[in-house]
Structure 1
Amino acid sequence: MTPIPLELRNARIAVSTVFFLLGVLFATWVSRIPAISHKLQLNEAQLGIALLGLAVGALLAFPLSGWGTARYGSKLTTTIGIILMALALPLMTLAPDMVTLTLALVLFGMGNGGTDVAMNSQAVDVEKDYGKPIMSSFHALYSVGGIAGSLVGGLMAGIELAPIWHFLLITGISLLLTVYASMNLLKVPGSGETGPVFAAPSPKLLGLGVVIFCVAVGEGAMADWSAIYLKDSLGTTEQMATAGYLAFSGAMVLGRILGDSMRTRLGAVVLVSTGTILSAVGLLLGLIFPHPYAALIGFACVGWGLSSGFPVAFSAAGNVPGVHPSIAMAAIATMGYTGFLLGPPIIGFVAHASTLAWGLGLVVLLCLIATVFSRNVRMADLKG
C-alpha cells in the first residue's frame, strides 16, 4: 500500500479540526439557549422568530461560499467562515432584546453556513486524494464537537457561569485552533472563473434535496428544542435538559463512525431508508410516553437514524455530473439547512399554538417522507 503523504495526513487532521470546531460552536449556543431565552424573557414564538436569524444568515452564506470556493478555493472560505462564527458567538450573550439577538444570530448563521459548504468541499478533495471513503468520519467529528460543546455547556450551566464568559472562552480556543487548521488545509486552487452567486439547483439535485431537507429538520429540531422540551415540557433541571442534545449527538457519533463501512455493505439507499424509519418510530414512542428517559431514548434514535443523512447527501452531490463540486455542495447545503434552520422556528410556532410534543411530531412525519424519497441518494454509491 502506498503511504499517505504527510501533507495529506495533516490536511485530514485540519479538516477534522474544522468539523469538530463547527460542532463545538453550534452546541455551545444550543446548550445555553434556555439561559439566554430566560434572560430575555422570550416565549416559544419569540424564540422561534429569533432563530430565523440563523436561517437568514446561513441562506445568504451558502451560495456566497459556494461561489467563493469555486473561484478562490476552499481553504480561504473555510477559514473566513469559522472565524466569523467564533466571533459572533459571544455577541449573542450581549443582546438586550429579541431584535439584537436575531441580528447576532444572522452573523452566527453566516459563519455556520459558509463554513459548512467550504469544509465539505475540502473534505471531498481530501477523500479523493485518500482514495477511500472517509466522508462519514469527518461528519463524526462534527458530532464529537457537538458532544464536547454540550458537556461543557452542561458543566457551565451547572456551576451557573454566565453565558458571556462561557462563550468568550470557547471563542478564544476556537480562534487558536482555526489558525492551526488554516495552515494545514489542502491547497486546492479555485478556478478563478466568474459565475452567478445565486443559481437554482439542477433537477438531479432536487430529489436529493427532499431527503436532506427532511433529515435536516430532524437535526435542527434536536439542536434547538430537545433541551426546551426536557426542561419546559417535562420539568427537568437546566443541567438535565442538556442531556437531550447529548443523547442525540452521542448516538449520531456512533452512527457516523460506522457510516462508511455500513454504506459499503448496505448501500446508500438502504442505509438512509432504515435510518429514517428508526428515527420516526423512536421519536414517536418518546413523545407518546412523556418521561425524560423515554424522550432521551427517542432523541438517541433520531441521532443514530439520521447520522448518515448528511455524509451520504454530500457524497451524492459530489457525484452529480456536470456540476462543480462546490456549487453542488452549496445547493445541497441550501436545501438541507433550509430545513435545519427554518424547521425549528416552525416547530416553535406549532408549539406555541398547541404543545411542543405536537411540534416535534412534525419531525416524525418528515422522517417518513425522507424514507419514501431515499432512493435519490443512490448517487452516493457511484464510483469515480
Structure 2
Amino acid sequence: MQQQATYLYPKTMLRMAVGCMFFIAGICFASWASRIASIQQTLGLTDAALGAVLFTLPVGLMLSLPFAGWVISKTGSRNLLIIAVTFYGIALVGLGSARQIWQLITCLLCFGFASNNVNIAVNTQAVSAERLYGKPIMASFHGLWSLAGFAGAGIGTFMIGKNIIPQHHFIMILIVMIAGVVYCSRYLNNDKSGASEGPVFVMPDRSLIKLGIIAFCSLMCEGAMFDWSVIYFKKVISAEGAWIGAGYTAFMLTMASGRFIADWFAHRFGLKRILQVSGSLTALGLIIAVACPYLYTAIGGFLLVGFGVSSVVPMVYSAAGRSKTMSPGVALAAVSTIGFIGFLVGPPVIGFIAGVTGSLRYSFMLIAAMGVSVVVVSTKAKLS
C-alpha cells in the first residue's frame, strides 16, 4: 500500500508517534474535565448555567468541520494534527485563565474547535498505522487516550489538593503537550492520509450511519462522565476531599484497561457481541450509581460504566476504516464526527436536565438510556 511505500521510518516509530498524540490529546481533555468543578465555583455557575456554557463545545465542533475537511484534503492529517494539538493546549490555558463567563464561552468555542480537529486527524493517522501493521491496533491507541485521562484525573486531584489554580495547572500541561508535538511530529505519516480530490464532507451510507449512532450513544455517555462525574460525587454522593474524584478515577481506570484487551475480545466473540455487552454494562453501572447513591456503590457503578464504554468507540472506528463503500479516511471522518457530536452534546444536556429536575440523579438516567441504545442499535445492525 501507499503507506508502506512512503513511510520512511520503522513502523514502530509511527505507532509510537500516533500513540503519543493520542496520549497528549487525552491528558489535555482530562485536565479540563478534572477542573470543571473548580472553574464552576470560581465563576459562580449553577448546574443549569454550566450546562448552557458547555453547549459551546459542540458549536465549536460544528464550526470545525469545513476546516478539518479542507486541511486534510489539501495537506493530509499530519499537518492538521500538529496545528490542532498546539491550538488545543493554548485553548486549555485560556479556559483556566477565564474570569468572566464570556471569556469561558470564547475559550470553550476554541477548545471544541481544536478538539474535533485533533479527533479527526489523530484517528486518520491511526487508520494509516493499522493498515501498515495489517492487524487491528485501533483499540490500543484509544487505550492510551484513556490512560492519559486516568493520569490527567490523578494530576487534577493532586492540583486540587495542593490548591493550585487551574491556570497554572493548565500551563504545565501545555508545556508537556508542546514538547510531545515537537518530538513526535517527525515520525507521523506524511502521505496525506485521508486526502482526496472529492468533496470536503460526504454523507455516510446506511451501515456507517448505524456505526455513527452507536458511537454517538457511547460517546455521549463518555462525555457526560468526563464533565459531570466529579460534580456528581460532590453534590449527590457528598464525597469529601480527594474522594470527590474517586468516581472519575474509577471510570478512567476501567475504560483504559478495557481498551487494551478490546481487540482480543472482539476477535474472539465478534463485534456485535462486544457492543451488546458494552451497552449493557454501561446501563447497569449507571443504574447502580443512581439507585444507590453511596460512595462505594457509586464507585462500583462507575467502574462498570468504564468497562462498558471502553470497547465501543475503537471497535466502531476500526469497522468504519474497513468500509467498502468509502475510503477509510472519509468513512472514519464521517463516523467520528457523528460520534463526537454525542461526546460534546452529552454534558450540556445533562446540565439542562439537572436544572429542570433539580437533581443530577435523574439526569444521569439519560446516560443509562444511551447504554441501552447501544445494545438495541448493535443488535439490529449487520455487524461482522
Correspondence for 1:374: 378
Instruction: Give, as a single letter, the amino acid of the residue that structure 2 aligns with 1:165.
Output: H
Distance 1:230 1:155, change over 3 A: same
Residue 323 of structure 1: CA displacement?
A: 1.4
Correspondence for 2:312: 309
Superimposed CA distance per residue, residues 195-235 of structure 1 (whole angstroms, 9 cap, x where no aligned partner):
43344333332111221111111101100110000011222
Matched residue pairs, number?
A: 377
Correspondence for 1:7: 10
> In the alignment, is the contact (CA less than 8 A) between 2:194 and 2:328 conserved in 1?
no
Please give the root-mean-square deviation of Cα atoms over the aligned residues, in Å.
1.8
Residue 294 of structure 1: CA displacement?
A: 1.3
**Structure 2 unmatched ranges of 5 or more:** 1-6
- Residue 359 (str. 1) matches residue 363 (str. 2): yes
1:342 to 319, 341, 345: 345
- Residue 23 (str. 1) matches residue 26 (str. 2): yes
**Structure 1 unmatched ranges of 5 or more:** none
Superimposed CA distance per residue, residues 87-134 of structure 1 (whole angstroms, 9 cap, x where no aligned partner):
111101221222220110111111111011111111111111111111
Instruction: Give, as a single letter, the amino acid of the residue that structure 2 aligns with 1:330.
Output: A
Instruction: Determine the C-alpha separation between the residues in 1 that align with 2:46 and 2:321.
Output: 41
Correspondence for 2:67: 64
- Residue 183 (str. 1) matches residue 206 (str. 2): no
- Range 55-64 or range 141-150, more displaced: 55-64
- Residue 133 (str. 1) matches residue 136 (str. 2): yes
- Range 200-209 or range 157-166, more displaced: 200-209
Question: What's the TM-score, normalizing by structure 2?
Answer: 0.94
Distance 1:372 1:191, change over 3 A: closer
- Find the residue that maps to 1:89 and give its secondary structure: helix
Instruction: Give, as a single letter, the amino acid of the residue that structure 1 aligns with 2:361.
Output: A
- Range 100-109 or range 235-244, more displaced: 235-244
Correspondence for 2:106: 103
Instruction: Determine the C-alpha separation between the residues in 2 that align with 1:201 and 1:192.
Output: 17
Distance 1:192 1:144, change over 3 A: closer
> In the alignment, is the contact (CA less than 8 A) between 1:271 and 1:308 conserved in 2?
yes
Residue 289 of structure 1: CA displacement?
A: 0.5
Question: What's the TM-score, normalizing by structure 1?
Answer: 0.94
Percent identity for Structure 1 against Structure 2: 36
Instruction: Give, as a single letter, the amino acid of the residue that structure 2 aligns with 1:373.
Output: V
Correspondence for 1:219: 222
Residue 267 of structure 1: CA displacement?
A: 0.6
Instruction: Determine the C-alpha separation between the residues in 2 that align with 1:364 and 1:71.
Output: 41
- Range 146-155 or range 314-323, more displaced: 314-323
Instruction: Determine the C-alpha separation between the residues in 1 that align with 2:13 and 2:196.
Output: 28
Instruction: Give, as a single letter, the amino acid of the residue that structure 1 aligns with 2:41.
Output: H
Correspondence for 2:161: 158
> In the alignment, is the contact (CA less than 8 A) between 1:213 and 1:336 conserved in 2?
yes
Instruction: Give, as a single letter, the amino acid of the residue that structure 2 aligns with 1:305.
Output: G
Correspondence for 1:148: 151
Residue 239 of structure 1: CA displacement?
A: 2.8
- Find the residue that maps to 1:132 and give its secondary structure: coil
Superimposed CA distance per residue, residues 267-307 of structure 1 (whole angstroms, 9 cap, x where no aligned partner):
11100111110111121012101102211111111110111
Correspondence for 1:233: 236
Residue 42 of structure 1: CA displacement?
A: 0.3
Distance 1:11 1:136, change over 3 A: same
> In the alignment, is the contact (CA less than 8 A) between 1:66 and 1:117 conserved in 2?
no
Instruction: Give, as a single letter, the amino acid of the residue that structure 2 aligns with 1:274.
Output: V
Instruction: Give, as a single letter, the amino acid of the residue that structure 2 aligns with 1:323.
Output: M
- Residue 47 (str. 1) matches residue 50 (str. 2): yes
- Find the residue that maps to 1:306 and give its secondary structure: helix
